Structure 1
Amino acid sequence: MAKAPAILTEVLSTQCGRGIGVLTLNVPKAMNAVDLDMVNAIDEHMKAWQDDANIVAVIMRGAGEKAFCAGGDIRKLYRSMTLKGRTQYRYADDFFRAEYRKNYVLHQFTKPLIAWGQGFVMGGGLGLFVCASHRIGTESLRLAWPEVRIGLFPDVTATWYLSHMPAPWGLWMGLTGSLMNASECKQLGLTHYAMGSEQWQGILELVTNLPWQDNIARNHQELRKGLQQLEQTTTSELPAARLEANEEQVNKWLEGDDLVAIAKRMSAYKGGDEWLQQGIKNLQQGCPATAHIAMEQIRRGGFMSLKEVVAWELDIAWQSVRHPDFAEGVRAMVIDKDFKPQWQHKDIQSVPRSWVEELLRSPWKVNEHPYVDI
């Protein structure tokens, strides 16, 4: 039996004779994790739909019910990082270079782009999700930048979104990899709508019946009205947001820019809130160097353009695949599953500033950066 394509595409016909592109990430057994071939295919299809005058809008979704996309295929990245010889790192370098470029280009997509947020939306999958101009979270949404657990760093434009998020939640998400539900994501601006998954058919009916025009701004406006109506008539019970109840506590923990002090305050927590406890545990067991990088992302991101963000994140990714923590984190959490990563530093306090600066340093001269042309 032939292997099913990892990316499925179709075009829905509308009542007014136009087309709606539908792109489905089709690796449900791997929670739709993307590899280099999938990244390139997404880029190819989206560019074609941007240039096709008959296509008036696009929907992105993940196959199955478990995930829109749980991130990059880190098993393939691990194999690249642990190869011996001249091809070591080649696949990882190619993957990150293509992924970040694709996401930057997709942020420039002018037509309405709907992302259906069902199940896990994490890491690189979250980077793809936030490219959409109309982001929908359902009752099953579990959204996070969980890179602290594998020794990478919040990437694929995470620097931009974490640093522009209402305080203290950008830093909280970057340090702890905490999962956010649909109600929380809407409050934080990570989604635009929160509705039950039963509205999927309603969305298909909406997009095929709207009076699409050549005026792209008008199309966005009409789609927004229709999605808001679907949101208001949803029947599924959405999970309650936990942000307001915990904001005072988290603000106290994350006050100031001393990461060591922040970690100590969090470790002293004696309360019984399971969500907060899990976030603290993620930070304590996660990669100490990643926490330092996330802190720098919050500090700098608010002063950077999106182009500067993707270029800087590519610098950090290049360094990360050549530093031991990333490969070790993937080994422990995904390959061997002993869940006992041996990080290069025992805790946040032990990470030298020189180590952090090396991870943040670009390996390229300014005029030789791979993204000098974007």
Structure 2
Amino acid sequence: MTSASEKPVVCKTLKTRSGHKLGILTLNAPAAMNAVDLTMVNLIDRQLKRWEDDDDVVAIFMHGAGDKAFSAGGDIRKLYDSMCADGDEQYRYADAFFSGEYGKNYRVHLVTKPLVAWGNGFVMGGGLGLFIGANHRIGTETLKLAWPEVRIGLFPDVAASWYLSHLPYPAGHWMALTGSHMNAVDCRALTLTQYAMAHSQQADVIKVLKTLSWTANAAENHHKVRDALHALEDECPLSLPASRMDDARADIQALLADRSLSAIARRFEAYAGNNDWVKQGIANFRAGCPATAQLIMVQLERGALMSLKEVVQWELILAYQAVRHPDFAEGIRAMVVDKDFAPRWAHSHVDAVPKSWVDGLMHSPWSRDEHPLADL
């Protein structure tokens, strides 16, 4: 029999004072910083559906095992192996992963009961796709939330086209182009989270959720959760990290004064400021994939005009093409496999990326009716 410590997702329920149940869902791969693969995505999806359909379960608490991460992303080594496989096996796992991940992460957004996600440590990539779908998102003092895909030649996915395009300019573009880590204070200000607490308060949150006077009215239950979590915010036992965006705001606004990627790249190269966080973001951009940067500009233009469902369907097209273009595999090779941190991108600079290359990344292999997520 498999022990709880070996299960990639651990699920249990706790009895509440009102006689209802609180679901506890744990991403349980701490050695891999809870990176998600297709098995985990499917397990999470099935469990959330069970709890959503169970009238006794009134709320769900979702977190990552250990202290380092909610989830640092998807298991990109498995994606690399899939892209490098021979014959019919090539792309098989990658296609199944992205189709499964995007569809099931979208359904997280449809959970009607209070779903509380505990954002401690790294929250990135596929893990961010799960986290961002929760209707009550908490960031702790160690939160490092990011869409860092520019560094591996993918693109900011799991609905990033929607979320980042709806942030006030230029915050979303800065996050997408640089993969900068955002802390709890800045995430709360940008409404990427709604609460900021200390990691030491996790047990207090679960205790409070167990003692609420739950009802059969979901809207009323959401209201009770909001009040309880805001009260715990006020009791935070430590000072949260200072905003990075506040200190960098003037620099970032100047660097992204318009939406011309060529102009942004030139300003990045000429930056002479002394903000270390800004300098790190620029270094990420300069080391990142030029084609990804070009695609990001289209993503955030189009994403602002799409529904969340349309974004998820469109991003699956981008993912299908990304695994068949060389940059994604090369980025994983450089950052994860060989770890030489010197990717050889298909293009040397954002100005060298032809429009036809970006158009190819957006070309759908399916008709509308044949799209794997047509019935999302």
Matched, 1:95 2:70: no
Partners of 2:337 and 2:243 lie apart in 1 by 34
Provide TM-score, normalisation by structure 1. Answer: 0.99
Q: Give the equivalent residue in structure 2 for 1:150.
A: 152
TM-fit CA distance, 1:2: 5.2
Q: Give the equivalent residue in structure 1 for 2:278.
A: 276
* Helix, strand or coil at the partner of 2:372: coil
Q: Give the equivalent residue in structure 1 for 2:134.
A: 132
* Helix, strand or coil at the partner of 2:89: coil
TM-fit CA distance, 1:67: 0.3
* Helix, strand or coil at the partner of 2:133: coil
Q: Give the equivalent residue in structure 2 for 1:341.
A: 343
Aligned residue among 120, 123, 131 for 2:122: 120
Aligned residue among 102, 109, 112 for 1:110: 112
Unpaired runs of at least 5, structure 2: none
Unpaired runs of at least 5, structure 1: none
TM-fit CA distance, 1:282: 0.4
- Kept after mapping to 1: 8 A contact 2:178/2:284: yes
Q: Tell me which amino acid in the other structure corresponds to 1:66.
A: K
Partners of 1:278 and 1:242 lie apart in 2 by 12
Partners of 2:149 and 2:90 lie apart in 1 by 22
CA deviation map 1:125-152 (0-9, x unaligned): 1111011111000001011000000000
Partners of 2:114 and 2:294 lie apart in 1 by 36
TM-fit CA distance, 1:257: 2.3
How many pairs were matched up?
374
Matches within 5 A, 1:196-275: 196-275=198-277
The answer to which of 262-271 and 313-322 deviates more is: 262-271
Partners of 2:364 and 2:314 lie apart in 1 by 7
- Kept after mapping to 2: 8 A contact 1:69/1:121: yes
Partners of 1:174 and 1:227 lie apart in 2 by 29
Matches within 5 A, 1:168-183: 168-183=170-185
CA deviation map 1:187-234 (0-9, x unaligned): 111110001112112101111000000000000001100000000011
Partners of 1:116 and 1:23 lie apart in 2 by 11
Partners of 2:144 and 2:65 lie apart in 1 by 16
Q: Tell me which amino acid in the other structure corresponds to 1:212.
A: W
Aligned residue among 34, 43, 46 for 1:44: 46
Partners of 1:235 and 1:365 lie apart in 2 by 54
Q: Give the equivalent residue in structure 2 for 1:370.
A: 372
Matched, 1:361 2:366: no
- Kept after mapping to 2: 8 A contact 1:315/1:363: yes
Aligned residue among 85, 88, 92 for 2:87: 85
Partners of 1:373 and 1:204 lie apart in 2 by 35
Q: Tell me which amino acid in the other structure corresponds to 1:223.
A: V
Would you identify which runs of 4 or more consecutive aligned residues in structure 1 move more than 2 Å?
none
Q: Tell me which amino acid in the other structure corresponds to 1:342.
A: R
The answer to which of 361-370 and 104-113 deviates more is: 361-370
TM-fit CA distance, 1:347: 1.0
Provide TM-score, normalisation by structure 2. Answer: 0.98
TM-fit CA distance, 1:185: 0.4
